[in-house]
Amino acid sequence: MLRVGLPENISPALLQDFPKDSVEFVPLSEHLDRDVDVEFWIPPMHGRLARPMFQHLRGVRVIQSLLAGVDWITPWLSKGILLCDGQGIHNVPVGEWIVAAILGSLKRFPELRDFQREQFWDGQVRNGKLADEEVTNSGQPTPYRVLGDELISKKVLIVGYGGIGNELERMLQPFRVEILRVARTAKPGVHSIAELKKLLPAADIVVLLVPLTDSTRGMFNAEMLRSMKDGALLVNAARGPVVETDALVAELQARRLHAALDVTDPEPLPKGHPLWSAPNCFLTPHVAGSVAGFFVRAYTFAAAQVRRYLAGEPLQNQVHEGY
């Protein structure tokens, strides 16, 4: 019997696709304080819980993360253990979050929501809430307090073009945008990461989807942010440390760039941090992939991986060098 370790609070309804005749489920407490034999481990989705739990696991040969990013696992991953990530599980919800964040930012929904709470109607008058002129997403100064923009015909640069990037491109097709694609290595229709800096000045919207690795940490530093066109929108649905926070805050406070962030550095973002109040910045607390259907998709995929493992077939989504 294959001993599959998983969080103890997982509903049995999510485990229907696992082969019952060859799998023994091992529910693992968040406060595990004894050694347990587990060969195939589905860890909890928080590093603060997973790492101490892993110290009590014996015989682990496969770790199947249900998250696309595994930067929270790789620092303490033992040699000889196969790590697989959850790529593909999050494609639709994260793609939808990105589209919503782009549209919400272009239409200035965060500011308009603030106006609603203050019962302030005159969002387009010249003398109102904001003292200074700002730059629109089209890069043009405007004396209006809130002026929306269009997504139609914008240039969208996707940095880290994989499964989510492909799904995002499909979702953006009705808006007739021009897609610029960047991945670790070049292939037909996709630029290499080495070409990123020269592509930035042309992009109206830059979407970050890269994993967090040594090579991507701090990728969007002050120099890269300065390369973005005036009024451009930076969307980070990757990891917070991919962007240098202080450099981004400076650009936002200068009202030169816009940002929509589902991830930050530090994270959680502490109260009083300048990102909370930075102009032209929309924040969500790392929830892009948190949707009702996630766990059904996640455990359906995990069950398929277990079946592959039992059959001696190669597992999908194997992680090598952080990818």
For the chain, where are the E strands, in sequence order?
2-7, 23-28, 36-37, 40-41, 57-58, 62-64, 82-84, 134-135, 141-142, 155-159, 178-183, 191-192, 205-208, 233-236, 258-261, 281-283
Please name the residues in contact with 156: beta carbons below 8 A apart, sequence gap of 6 or more. Answer: 102, 172, 177, 178, 179, 180, 203, 204, 205, 206, 207
Task: Give the active site residue among 3, 286, 307, 308.
Answer: 286
Q: Does domain 91-283 correspond to CATH entry 3.40.50.720?
A: yes
The span from the CA of 133 to the CA of 124, in Å, is 12
Tens of pLDDT, residues 128-171: 444 444 555 555 555 556 678 999 999 999 999 999 999 999 99
The span from the CA of 40 to the CA of 22, in Å, is 13
Task: Give the active site residue among 90, 108, 239, 255.
Answer: 239
> Domain limits of the chain?
2-89+291-311, 91-283
108 counts as catalytic: no
Place of tokens 């782009």: 102
* pLDDT value at residue 320: 86
CATH architecture observed for domain 2-89+291-311: 3-Layer(aba) Sandwich (3.40)
**Over its length of 323 residues, how does the chain's per-residue pLDDT go in tens digits?**
999 999 999 999 999 999 999 999 999 999 999 999 999 999 998 878 899 999 999 999 999 999 988 888 988 998 999 999 999 999 999 999 999 999 999 999 998 898 889 888 876 654 444 444 455 555 555 555 667 899 999 999 999 999 999 999 999 999 999 999 999 999 999 999 999 999 999 999 999 999 999 999 999 999 999 999 999 999 999 999 999 999 999 999 999 999 999 999 999 999 999 999 999 999 999 999 999 999 999 999 999 999 999 999 999 999 987 66
Token pair, residue 239, equals 């990891």
Token pair, residue 273, equals 């941090």
Please name the residues in contact with 16: beta carbons below 8 A apart, sequence gap of 6 or more. Answer: none
Please name the residues in contact with 22: beta carbons below 8 A apart, sequence gap of 6 or more. Answer: 1, 2, 310
* pLDDT value at residue 124: 63
Dihedral of alpha carbons 42, 310, 297, 101, sign:
positive
* pLDDT value at residue 147: 77
191 counts as catalytic: no
Burial of 272 per CB tally in 10 Å (0-12, 13-18, 19+):
exposed
Distances from the Cα of 227 to the Cαs of 79, 151, 200, 264, 266, in angstroms? 40, 21, 6, 21, 24
Task: Give the active site residue among 195, 267, 313, 321.
Answer: 267
The span from the CA of 74 to the CA of 123, in Å, is 48
* pLDDT value at residue 322: 63
* pLDDT value at residue 131: 40
Do the domains at 2-89+291-311 and 91-283 have one common CATH topology?
A: yes
3 counts as catalytic: no
* pLDDT value at residue 51: 92
Place of tokens 């000889």: 80
* pLDDT value at residue 129: 45
